[in-house]
């Protein structure tokens, strides 16, 4: 089983508009509401791929109950710790004319120390039946930067594989306990390393340095330019570009990539097959309106066409 951790869950709202202009009154043409937060996007992609998955994290208020209800409808098993306050909303505004997307992300509720203790106890129990755990997204208010570090340490003590997808000090702290894999984007990698990361060569250098800091594998995603992956055990660094597509919704594609990596780690794929799987699932997710959605047929269609370049 794959366990997905979302400490800062949300309701993801997608607004489709025409000619979005700041300061104007905009009529929304289409709207969707889905359970979100990076880890729940991972869980949705895993479920769409037919994987056994369980989602966990924090949820609060009416919004939290909505998330649990919607996960139930999707057939995604879940166990959350209930917190005081209201689970946040995250809004993605998609302009049909310009194809520009604008995101508005709320901070989320405050999590108290006793709620964190309850979650750690739950996490230890859930890890017993899990092969891989994904830990994704920002930390809610009240949690310290070492929270993911603590969770990764628990997973490693139980002999489980852990993928970390976060940013800033939470990522830096997590690196110190040697996660199996991390997946920052180029901006997040640059923040941790204290420099700008823009080109493919700079992403390759960043990925290599991140493995030196503790990651077993470091996948630095670059949007339309693909992903650069460095592997600490072989010293190899690969660059792979996604297949050419006409994207529908790019939000959550990085989370879908994490889902693909998690599947590959659970099944024991080699390095190149792991990279192909992550890239194919990410590309497939871009073809669906729902954030975190993907179709297995699209994954199968893409996976054999993906070419890896050894750097």
Catalytic residue positions, numbered:
255
Contact indicator for 251, 13 with CB cutoff of 8 Å: no
Contact indicator for 288, 304 with CB cutoff of 8 Å: no
Sign of torsion, CA 183 300 100 40? negative
Contact indicator for 217, 232 with CB cutoff of 8 Å: yes
User: How many CB atoms sit inside 10 A of residue 141's CB?
Assistant: 12
The label of the residue with tokens 């809610």 reads 140
User: How many CB atoms sit inside 10 A of residue 209's CB?
Assistant: 17
The label of the residue with tokens 């790019």 reads 250
Beta sheet of 181-182, edge-to-edge order: 78-82, 53-59, 2-6, 132-136, 161-165, 181-182, 217-221, 227-231, 237-240, 308-310
């Amino acid at each position: 089983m794959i366990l997905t951790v979302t400490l800062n869950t949300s309701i993801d709202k997608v607004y489709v508009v025409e000619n979005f202009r700041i300061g104007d009154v905009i009529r929304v043409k289409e709207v969707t509401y889905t359970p979100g937060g990076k880890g729940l996007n991972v869980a949705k992609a895993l479920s769409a791929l037919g994987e056994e998955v369980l989602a966990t994290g924090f949820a609060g208020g009416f919004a939290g109950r909505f998330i649990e209800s919607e996960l139930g409808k999707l057939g995604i098993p879940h166990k959350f710790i209930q917190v005081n306050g209201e689970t946040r909303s995250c809004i993605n505004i998609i302009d049909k004319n310009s194809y520009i997307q604008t995101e508005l992300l709320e901070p989320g509720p405050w999590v108290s120390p006793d709620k964190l203790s309850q979650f750690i106890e739950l996490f230890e129990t859930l890890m017993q039946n899990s092969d891989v755990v994904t830990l994704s997204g920002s930390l809610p208010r009240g949690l310290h930067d070492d929270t993911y570090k603590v969770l990764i340490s628990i997973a490693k003590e139980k002999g489980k594989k852990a993928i970390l997808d976060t940013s800033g000090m939470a990522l830096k702290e997590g690196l110190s306990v040697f996660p199996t894999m991390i997946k920052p984007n180029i901006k997040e990698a640059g923040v941790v390393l204290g420099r700008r990361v823009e080109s493919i060569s700079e992403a390759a250098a960043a990925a290599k340095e991140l493995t030196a800091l503790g990651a077993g594998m470091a996948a630095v995603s670059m949007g339309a330019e693909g992903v650069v992956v460095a592997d600490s055990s072989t010293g190899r660094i690969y660059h792979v570009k996604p297949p050419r597509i006409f994207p529908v919704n790019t939000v959550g594609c990085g989370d879908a990539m994490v889902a693909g990596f998690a599947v590959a780690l659970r099944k024991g794929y080699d390095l190149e097959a792991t990279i192909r799987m992550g890239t194919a699932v990410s590309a497939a997710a871009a073809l669906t309106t729902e954030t975190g959605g993907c179709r297995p047929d699209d994954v199968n269609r893409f996976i054999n066409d993906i070419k890896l370049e050894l750097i």
